[in-house]
Amino acid sequence: MKRSLSIGQYLIERLYAHGVRHVFGIPGDYVLGFYDHLSKSKLRLINTCDEQGAGFAADAYARVRGLGAVCVTYCVGGLKVANATAGAFAEKSPVVVISGAPGMRERRKNPLLHHKVREFDTQKKVFEQLTVAATVLSEPQTAFQEIDRVLQAALRFKQPVYVELPRDRVDVPGIPHHRTLEVHERSNRRSLRAALAEAAEMIRGARQPVILADVEVHRFGLQEWVLELVENTGIPVAATMLGKSVIGEQHPLYLGVYEGALGRDDVRRYVESSDCVILLGAFMTDINLGVYTARLDPVRSIYANSEKVSIRYHTYEEVRFKDFLAGLRGLRLRRRAPHKMPHPVPIRRFEANAGNLMTVTRLFERLNAFLSANMVVVTDVGDAMFGAADLFIRERTEFISPAYYTSMGFAVPASVGLQLANPKLRPLVLVGDGAFQMTGMELATVARNGLNPIVVVFNNRGYGTERHIQDGPFNDLWPWDYSRLPEVLGAGRGFVVRTEADLDAALAQARDCTETFCLLDVHLAPLDRSLALERLAARLAKKL
Ligand SMILES: Cc1ncc(C[n+]2csc(CCOP(=O)(O)OP(=O)(O)O)c2C)c(N)n1
Ligand SMILES: [Mg+2]
């Protein structure tokens, strides 16, 4: 008789079957047994410097490959991944958090084992708040089903899940002849038909419809369908910050990034004056839609995402986002004549004014000209993110940022996950000095794995964004000599950039130097800021 797989082996098999090839994390005694299995499996273990870095890397990996995994030890490791998991939850990224834990036999009589916080299930309770499904694989009879259930939930909702693996269950066989649960959810056909009929009527009657494409279009891989919808109907499309790069930004029907007051005014006016805004895969979050400044009225909206489909004030039950989008694409809508609509600012030829000191605006102009189709732009929180909204992403280059949850420290570790998920892409990391000081040491992980991101540190000597809200000594940073980190790490190349000529020279060398990472320490004035941050400040000042 065929022996059943062990619980640990089954988990590895299922991750592999869903396209996972790398697992990020740091071991500890409660998870060493499973690490041993992992290291002998088809999955590659990627040690990071810190668990939070592993969490961010797995999040970015999931955004590109459709599923990511992080594996850590109990509480001391797990709770360090909590923040990254919260970000993945908020921004819809399916990360499997695997945590080792005390064995079930060790838990009897509730002893005080190391790493335990309050109860044995304290960590699980925390993760129940941060994930769409959580399980402790304590019962061999149900362990395989539980693994199937949580992985399905991650894939269905594109959100993180939690799997706790007690160390005495790793090698225990699950039930024999288990058949993997495959769920294929279908829409209710009548409900779908009714939703599409109302959508069609609303779009046909609209004077100036517009599509707003957001994060779930990426997560569900529906970019092609949105493009077809746009091209068949002639309806212009804007992206949100989380949805940026959903469509090549040179497309004649692409408006730009819509982010309320943060974004360009012409895009905002066009979208907000529309009588039919088709929100695809969007969530009405504040930063994503411009810090409480977006003005989108439900009565003028078709709002479809994985959680609901609603049109004006009607909500349609049991309609899957994918089916609804497929239906919209199939509607016979007339093709509209070209509109008078705004377009993103095309890339100007950049001529360096050699002796000029760097400014944020000029830095972005130069980066705009530097971008190429094989790059993935990843930004951290701060002006690196605000300013990046105006970057002109040519092809459908990936653009990744923590635009909603906005946890600093995302970008450098995320670049590790991104490049392992797709080695053809070279990450261009845009990161503030404050954010870099949080997780920049993951460049060690970059070095260890032979990766080659180009990391641009926006060195304005402090928490620049906050200086514009309320300044004080708490916004100052200890100045690091960032460009010399390669000496410490024994890998990479560092550049100090003070002038436009320095930047030109550094980028030219970084482009050619593909065998290792490049770090550009770009010196900026503490109060300098991007046009986007300028716009936000001006609009908020007007409101106050
Ligand atoms: C983990 C975390 N801590 C604190 C904040 C609050 N915060 C938002 S922007 C910011 C300053 C960012 O500084 P830096 O990375 O240097 O970028 P800059 O604003 O200077 O461009 C801070 C502290 C945050 N978003 N995330
Ligand atoms: Mg800064």
Question: For the residues of 93-117, what is the DSSP string, one character each?
Answer: --EEEEEEE--TGGGTT----TT--
- What is the average pLDDT across 213-227? 92
Contact 46, 445 (CB under 8 A): yes
From 80, 463, 475, 477, give the residue whose CB has the most ligand 1 atoms within 8 Å, as the site to mutate. 463
Closest of 18, 42, 27 to residue 94, by C-alpha: 18
Nearest-atom index, ligand 1, CA of 438: 1
pLDDT in tens, 377-423: 999 999 999 999 888 877 665 889 998 899 999 999 999 999 999 99
Nearest CA to ligand 1 atom 9: 382
383 lines ligand 1 (CB under 6 A): yes
440 lines ligand 1 (CB under 6 A): no
At 347 the pLDDT is 67
Least confident range of 131-145, 334-348, 362-376 = 334-348
Token couple for 64: 């590109």
Mean of all residue pLDDT scores within the chain: 92
Statement: residue 507 has pLDDT above 50: yes
Q: Helices 78-90 and 51-65 meet at what angle, rounded to 10?
A: 30
- What is the average pLDDT across 210-218? 93
pLDDT in tens, 159-202: 999 999 999 999 999 998 899 887 788 999 999 999 999 999 99
458 lines ligand 1 (CB under 6 A): yes
Statement: residue 265 has pLDDT above 60: yes
The two most distant CA atoms of the chain are separated, in Å, by 77
379 lines ligand 1 (CB under 6 A): no
Compute the distance between CA of residue 419 and CA of residue 84 in angstroms, rounded to an integer. Answer: 18
SS3 of residue 433 by DSSP:
helix
404 lines ligand 1 (CB under 6 A): no
pLDDT in tens, 425-440: 999 999 999 999 999 9
Least confident range of 82-86, 212-216, 257-261, 296-300 = 257-261
Q: What spacing in Å lies between the alpha carbon of 75 and ligand 1's midpoint?
A: 26
More confident of the two residues 294 and 46: 46
CB hemisphere CA count around 375 (13 angstroms): 23
Closest of 333, 359, 367 to residue 455, by C-alpha: 367
Compute the distance between CA of residue 106 and CA of residue 86 in angstroms, rounded to an integer. Answer: 30
Nearest-atom index, ligand 1, CA of 435: 15
At 196 the pLDDT is 97
Statement: residue 291 has pLDDT above 60: no
- pTM higher than the cut 0.85: yes
Nearest CA to ligand 1 atom 22: 463
Nearest CA to ligand 1 atom 12: 463
Q: In what order do the strands lie in the sheet with 518-523?
A: 399-400, 375-379, 426-432, 454-459, 518-523, 493-497
Statement: residue 247 has pLDDT above 80: yes
Contact 164, 135 (CB under 8 A): yes
Nearest CA to ligand 1 atom 16: 434
432 lines ligand 1 (CB under 6 A): yes
pLDDT in tens, 440-473: 999 999 999 999 999 999 999 999 999 988 889 9
Q: What residues contact 452, with CB distance under 8 A and at least 6 apart?
A: 419, 426, 446, 513, 514, 515, 516, 517, 518
Give the ligand at the shortest distance from the Cα of 360: 1
At 213 the pLDDT is 94
Compute the distance between CA of residue 286 and CA of residue 293 in angstroms, rounded to an integer. Answer: 8
Statement: residue 232 has pLDDT above 90: yes
SS3 of residue 426 by DSSP:
strand
433 lines ligand 1 (CB under 6 A): yes
- What is the average pLDDT across 521-529? 97
| E-assigned strand segments in 187-330 | 209-213, 237-239, 254-257, 276-280, 301-304, 309-311, 314-316
Q: How confident is the model at residue 264 (pLDDT cuts 50, 70, 90)?
A: confident
| E-assigned strand segments in 414-491 | 426-432, 454-459
Q: What spacing in Å lies between the alpha carbon of 408 and ligand 1's midpoint?
A: 6
Of all residues in the chain, what percent carry a pLDDT higher than 70? 95
430 lines ligand 1 (CB under 6 A): no
Q: Which backbone phi and psi does 354 adopt, to 5 degrees?
A: -45, -50
382 lines ligand 1 (CB under 6 A): yes
Tell me the C-alpha to C-alpha distance, in Å, between residue 17 and each of 20, 148, 180, 458, 526: 7, 11, 11, 40, 49
55 lines ligand 1 (CB under 6 A): no
Compute the distance between CA of residue 37 and CA of residue 101 in angstroms, rounded to an integer. Answer: 16
H-run or E-run covering 293: none
At 540 the pLDDT is 64
Nearest-atom index, ligand 1, CA of 384: 21
Q: What is the DSSP string of 170-226?
A: TTSB--TT-----------HHHHHHHHHHHHHHHHT-SSEEEEE-HHHHHTT-HHHH
From 408, 431, 457, give the residue whose CB has the most ligand 1 atoms within 8 Å, as the site to mutate. 408
At 1 the pLDDT is 45
Q: How far is CA 82 from the centre of its chain?
A: 16
Q: Which residues surround ligand 2, an ion (CB under 5 A)?
A: 432-434, 460, 464
